[in-house]
Amino acid sequence: MAPLLVSHPSSQRGSQEKEDLAAPTSNGNTRVATFEASKLIYNYTASPRSVPDEDNACSGPDTICTDHMVTCTWNASKGWDFPELKEYGPLAIMPTASVLHYATECFEGLKVFRGFDGKLRLFRPDCNTQRMLVSTKRIALPAFDPKELEKLILTLVSVDGPKWLPRERQGSFLYIRPAIIGTQPQLGVQTSKQAMLFITASFNPRMDAPVGGMRLHTSPEDMVRAWVGGFGYAKVGANYGPSLLATQEARDRGFSQILWLYGREGYCTEAGASNFFIIWRTKASENGKLQLLTAPLDERLILDGVTRRSVIALVRERLTEELEIVERTYTIDEVIEAHNDGRLVEAFVSGTAVCTYNTSDHSTP
């Protein structure tokens, strides 16, 4: 029997490799280490579709996407191929594809808005594309240059945006969903040597706050969303499927979402697929200060939301006098105590496409 060798990661710390943009492969060829937006191949659809009314756009069981999508494939020996803009439609992958068995998938979600001044605008796409790289690495899918992904998103938006976000629909938006999947058609728990990027743009329901506020149910005692050392900080598909059971049970009981608690202490982490904030007054013994409280990023339990960051940045910029920002672990018992003391001022969630409430089945992280 071969000896079992166990290596401990502490001996490898500090040896993080730098990513080269073109890395030589073992056969001496140069592997393309990022897709490049300037190489995009345009294959416009021959059958453009008509844009649905806003009222109907999200009422059916399928997400309605725009005319086009962008795709790009990768394999371990050649690297990234040229990206392609083409008609929106099904992808071809084998039943043995890595993603279908081992959840080698990550994604992003961001919006392009039709402004009240008539312009089209993306909200902080650089944050999403950088986070996508973090998620991609967590599941050992190929790296890329986030700036190139941003350019591909911009291109899709400039091709389909003008038609699918008509000028008169000011304030409306399309939801951009980039995703990368492992496509290697070989069973076996291993790094996928083939991958595919795709980017779609679609209609998504408006996420206005439900009348009377959102009702959250704490997570069941035998379930956690993420754990220290896990992958809660990455937007990988594997985080979401297993959260649906608790969410459905909560909805059946008239709640909108799960407030995910962690550990015996019941630390508040996130709500549904959005970040969770509390505004409270500290106890009189702590001067009764008004604080904006949210879970910290350092244990990598929660997702580093772009809207979370934006909320914090706005408060820091405009409200520091009256509202102290506190990023720390805090428990549900502290929240309940604050509520009982009448110190709880408000609670809210932030996210690009936070879930709707129980009257609707739409829910997009």
Ligand X SMILES: *Cc1c(COP(=O)(O)O)cnc(C)c1O
Residue nearest to ligand X (CB): 305
Provide the minimum distance between the beta carbon of 350 and ligand X in the complex, in angstroms, as a whole number: 6
> Using CB under 6 A, which of the segments 55-63, 177-185, 203-211, 303-311 binds ligand X?
303-311
| Contact between 112 and ligand X per CB under 6 A | no
By beta-carbon proximity to ligand X, the closer residue of 23 and 314 is: 314
| Contact between 351 and ligand X per CB under 6 A | yes
Q: What span, in angstroms and rounded, lies between the C-alpha atoms of 152 and 36?
A: 8
Provide the minimum distance between the beta carbon of 217 and ligand X in the complex, in angstroms, as a whole number: 16
Residue 155: φ, ψ to 5°: -65, -45
By beta-carbon proximity to ligand X, the closer residue of 335 and 349 is: 349
Angle at the Cα of 178 from the Cα atoms of 88 and 25, rounded to 5 degrees: 105
By beta-carbon proximity to ligand X, the closer residue of 124 and 289 is: 124
Residue with tokens 């402004």: 115
Instruction: Work out which of 179, 236, 303, 335 binds ligand X, going by CB under 6 A.
Output: 303
By beta-carbon proximity to ligand X, the closer residue of 83 and 365 is: 365
Q: Is the dihedral of CA 278, 279, 280, 282 positive or negative?
A: positive
Residues 6+ apart with CB under 8 A from 42: 85
* Number of residues counted as binding ligand X (CB under 6 A): 15
Q: Segment 165-194, which members bind ligand X (CB under 6 A)?
A: none
Helix (H, G, I), strand (E, B) or coil at 272: coil
For residues 104-143, one letter each, b for 16 or more C-beta atoms within 10 angstroms of the residue's C-beta and e for the rest, the string is bbbbbbbbbbbeeeeebebbebebbbbbbbebbebbebbb
By beta-carbon proximity to ligand X, the closer residue of 194 and 294 is: 294
Q: What span, in angstroms and rounded, lies between the C-alpha atoms of 121 and 157?
A: 9
Furthest-apart CA pair in the chain: how many Å?
72
> Using CB under 6 A, which of the segments 111-119, 279-287, 332-340, 344-352 binds ligand X?
344-352
- The β-bridge partners of 293 are 278, 326
Q: What span, in angstroms and rounded, lies between the C-alpha atoms of 67 and 164?
A: 9
Q: What span, in angstroms and rounded, lies between the C-alpha atoms of 67 and 305?
A: 29
Instruction: Work out which of 40, 216, 273, 301 binds ligand X, going by CB under 6 A.
Output: 273
Q: Are 146 and 134 in contact (CB under 8 A)?
A: no
By beta-carbon proximity to ligand X, the closer residue of 67 and 270 is: 270
Residue with tokens 């690297």: 79
Provide the minimum distance between the beta carbon of 64 and ligand X in the complex, in angstroms, as a whole number: 21
- Integer-rounded Cα Rg, in Å, for the chain is 22
Q: Segment 220-249, which members bind ligand X (CB under 6 A)?
A: 235
Instruction: Work out which of 306, 312, 347, 355 binds ligand X, going by CB under 6 A.
Output: 306
| Contact between 295 and ligand X per CB under 6 A | no
Instruction: Work out which of 308, 330, 347, 357 binds ligand X, going by CB under 6 A.
Output: 308
| Contact between 251 and ligand X per CB under 6 A | no
Instruction: Work out which of 307, 312, 347, 356 binds ligand X, going by CB under 6 A.
Output: 307
For residues 38-60, one letter each, b for 16 or more C-beta atoms within 10 angstroms of the residue's C-beta and e for the rest, the string is eebeeeebeeeeebeeeeebbee
> Using CB under 6 A, which of the segments 81-89, 94-102, 187-195, 301-309 binds ligand X?
301-309
Interface residue list for ligand X (CB under 6 A):
109, 235, 270, 273-275, 303, 305-308, 350-352, 365
